Amino acid sequence: MKTLTTIAALAIALPAHAEFALNERFTDADGDLIADIPTDPAALVDPDTLIFAYTPVEDPAVYAEVWQGFLDHMAEMTGKNVQFFPVQSNAAQIEAMRAGRLHVAGFNTGSNPLAVACAGFRPFAMMAAEDGSFGYEMEIITYPDSGIDSVEGIRGNQMAFTSETSNSGFKAPSAILAAEFGMAAGVDFEPVFSGAHDNSILGVANRDYPAAAIANSVMGRMIDREVVTADQFVTIYQSQTFPTTGYGTAHNLKPELQDAIRDAFFSYDWEGTALLEEFGRNGESQFIPITFQEDWSVIRTIDEANGVVYECS
């Protein structure tokens, strides 16, 4: 049985916008919650090669090929070499941008606030359908005959999360389980971490995990690629729609280079591309403009509910 709900229970006890602050390395004079571009020319960078990384969701080798046509377009628009950087974790991706080794990226929903706060990430785009709709849902899944037929059935069992920086893989389900069901990890169930959505999905499909919290967009792509089949899963909870991967740049790239990168996203023709073949599985076929301040408000609220502090080493 699929349960449809929202996080209204969380919002009642929280301010409309969860508190959020950038690391002291950055400034935000205009109040848009993202790092300003440095005004000191000496603080700006103009690399010969732009490094791009997509959020570590599934096999990096697959996505290097999926993104190549777009990266060629970015190279043409910017006059730069563009290289795909396969990252193994959200933490590694954030650290790469913080250290200046990553210039353009797609950070997953949950790690966006940390990337913005600690790495100076400036998100401006998101994938969307032709009609402008976007997003995905967090689902809690199990397998047929697991003995778990509702969220309450997770009590006393093991539940897989992906990583602590993932919205659908950890943050949202943790907040929802606590607010709506009075369930806490380590008290009412045993939490385990798989490291990635595909690992959690495969773990449930192979009956290694009795339940898992995942992004249904990832599961949909895996079903379409016949990595798993729909009859291997039972959904016992589905959340409201969340924003998906946010794309943007490091804050200290030269302004004209940031503009050229932005233009590359919004001028890209998806027709007949590997990007459309892959992400069209979710109904996505274009990049649309977004703002971190507005589109990630619900994610910051979830972080507030979970007591998340954006600490930067």
We report the CATH number of the domain holding residue 66 as 3.40.190.10
**pLDDT of 228 over the 80 cut:** yes
212 lies in a domain? Answer: yes
Identify whether the C-beta of residue 49 lies closer than 8 Å to the C-beta of residue 83: yes
Q: For 265-277, what is the mean pLDDT?
A: 97
Q: What is the mean pLDDT of the chain?
A: 90
Do 258 and 109 lie in one domain? The reply is yes
Do 181 and 208 lie in one domain? The reply is yes
Predicted confidence at residue 90, as pLDDT, reads 87
Residue 206: CB partners within 8 Å, gap ≥ 6?
none
Predicted confidence band at 60 (pLDDT cuts at 50, 70, 90)?
confident
Helices 90-98, 112-119: crossing angle, 10 deg rounding? 20
Predicted confidence at residue 303, as pLDDT, reads 86
Do 197 and 210 lie in one domain? The reply is yes
Report yes or no on whether pTM surpasses 0.85.
Answer: no
Predicted confidence at residue 2, as pLDDT, reads 32
d(CA 36, CA 245): 21
Predicted confidence at residue 253, as pLDDT, reads 98
Q: How many domains does the chain have?
A: 2
267 lies in a domain? Answer: yes
Domain that holds residue 191: 136-242
Predicted confidence band at 313 (pLDDT cuts at 50, 70, 90)?
low
Q: Give the end of a domain, one of 242, 266, 283.
A: 242
93 lies in a domain? Answer: yes
Do 110 and 248 lie in one domain? The reply is yes
Predicted confidence at residue 58, as pLDDT, reads 63
Do 31 and 129 lie in one domain? The reply is yes
Q: For 118-142, what is the mean pLDDT?
A: 95
313 lies in a domain? Answer: no
Q: Give the end of a domain, one of 242, 273, 291.
A: 242
Predicted confidence band at 39 (pLDDT cuts at 50, 70, 90)?
very high
Do 145 and 43 lie in one domain? The reply is no
d(CA 120, CA 94): 9
Terminal CA-CA length for the chain: 43
**pLDDT of 208 over the 50 cut:** yes
Q: For 272-299, what is the mean pLDDT?
A: 94
d(CA 104, CA 33): 19
Do 62 and 149 lie in one domain? The reply is no
**Sheet with strand 81-84: strands edge to edge:** 81-84, 49-54, 104-107, 246-250, 121-128, 286-289
Do 178 and 268 lie in one domain? The reply is no
Q: For 58-77, what is the mean pLDDT?
A: 90
Neighbours of 54 (CB within 10 A): 23
Do 196 and 148 lie in one domain? The reply is yes
Q: Give the end of a domain, one of 193, 209, 242.
A: 242
**pLDDT of 14 over the 70 cut:** no
Q: For 98-102, what is the mean pLDDT?
A: 97
1 lies in a domain? Answer: no
d(CA 142, CA 152): 13
**pLDDT of 43 over the 70 cut:** yes
**pLDDT of 10 over the 50 cut:** no
